[in-house]
Amino acid sequence: MEIARKLRSADDMTALVNEMGFLPLFDVGVKGFSVEEMTRGQWWTGLSDDPWHWREIAAREGEIIYAKIFGGRAGFVSKAWFPKFANYRRNGYDFDSAWEEGLETPKNRSIMECVSLSPMIMTSDIKKQVGKTGFEGALTHLEMKTYLIIRGFDRKKNRFQEPYGWSIGVMDTPENAFGYDWTTSAYSEDPEKSHADILSHIESVLPDVDRITLEKILQR
């Protein structure tokens, strides 16, 4: 099945994410199931219909959740489905509990402590504090686990406080962004039940895609 949809604005994209629940930014192996495939010819133009800019709008506005969450690649989850998604991906563990159980690395903990002390912090500033060795992999892992999300983008500033260079992701925890109670509202549910509900929902919007392919997209 290919989703016959043409996205023309950030609002279009947000509406589709809220309709479907989940949407990768780039192709993940399901034909038509990505922003990339619904926006041919619009990328990196700097114009208002450029999806590369939409992801910044979406992250900043917070109507949908943006992070590297599909096989380590960027994508979106609706706020309606995020609590179940977090429950499944975290397997019922808050980060601190996972750390205490030996399920997280010291690098991961250093990143989480950095973000907890300075919410809405640029990834470049986190890297300065925790070190670059293993940083990218650790950050992606924490996004995949839904412990961190991308809340916006910013640029570095020179000594005159003038911005320069490319936009850089700004990280936060969903608990800080949207509240602990909301983020953990599915914790009373078995993580496998959350997974089954998510899978059933995606199968309902992508009925012609085999389950094995969908499982690959959703896997922790």
Residue 1 lies inside a defined structural domain of this protein: no
Q: Which domain holds residue 30?
A: 10-218
Residue 204 lies inside a defined structural domain of this protein: yes
Average pLDDT over every residue of 188-213: 93
The tokens of 50 are what? Answer: 């450029």
Per-residue pLDDT at 1 exceeds 50: no
Q: Tell me the three state secondary structure of residue 16.
A: helix
Residue 161 lies inside a defined structural domain of this protein: yes
Q: What is the pTM (predicted TM-score) of this model? A: 0.94
- pLDDT for 113 equals 97
User: Integer distance in angstroms from the first to the last C-alpha of the chain?
Assistant: 24
Residue 59 lies inside a defined structural domain of this protein: yes
Residue 2 lies inside a defined structural domain of this protein: no
- Angle among Cα 200, 37, 142 to the nearest 5 degrees reads 60
pLDDT band for 4, please (50, 70, 90 cuts).
low
Residue 72 lies inside a defined structural domain of this protein: yes
Q: Between residues 207 and 65, which one has the greater pLDDT? A: 65
Residue 101 lies inside a defined structural domain of this protein: yes
Percent of the chain with pLDDT over 90: 80
The tokens of 171 are what? Answer: 């990280």
Residue burial 176-203, b: 16+ Cβ < 10 Å; e: rest: eebeeeebbebbeeebeebbebbbebbe
Average pLDDT over every residue of 90-115: 97
Q: Between residues 41 and 58, which one has the greater pLDDT? A: 58
The domain tally of the chain equals 1
CB burial class (10 A; 0-12, 13-18, 19+) of residue 102? exposed
Average pLDDT over every residue of 29-56: 91
Residue 141 lies inside a defined structural domain of this protein: yes
Q: Where are the beta strands (DSSP E) in the chain?
A: 22-24, 64-70, 73-78, 121-122, 149-157, 163-172
Amino acid at 105: T
Q: What is the pLDDT of residues 154-194, one digit of tens each?
A: 988 888 888 888 889 999 999 999 999 999 999 999 999 99
Percent of the chain with pLDDT over 70: 98
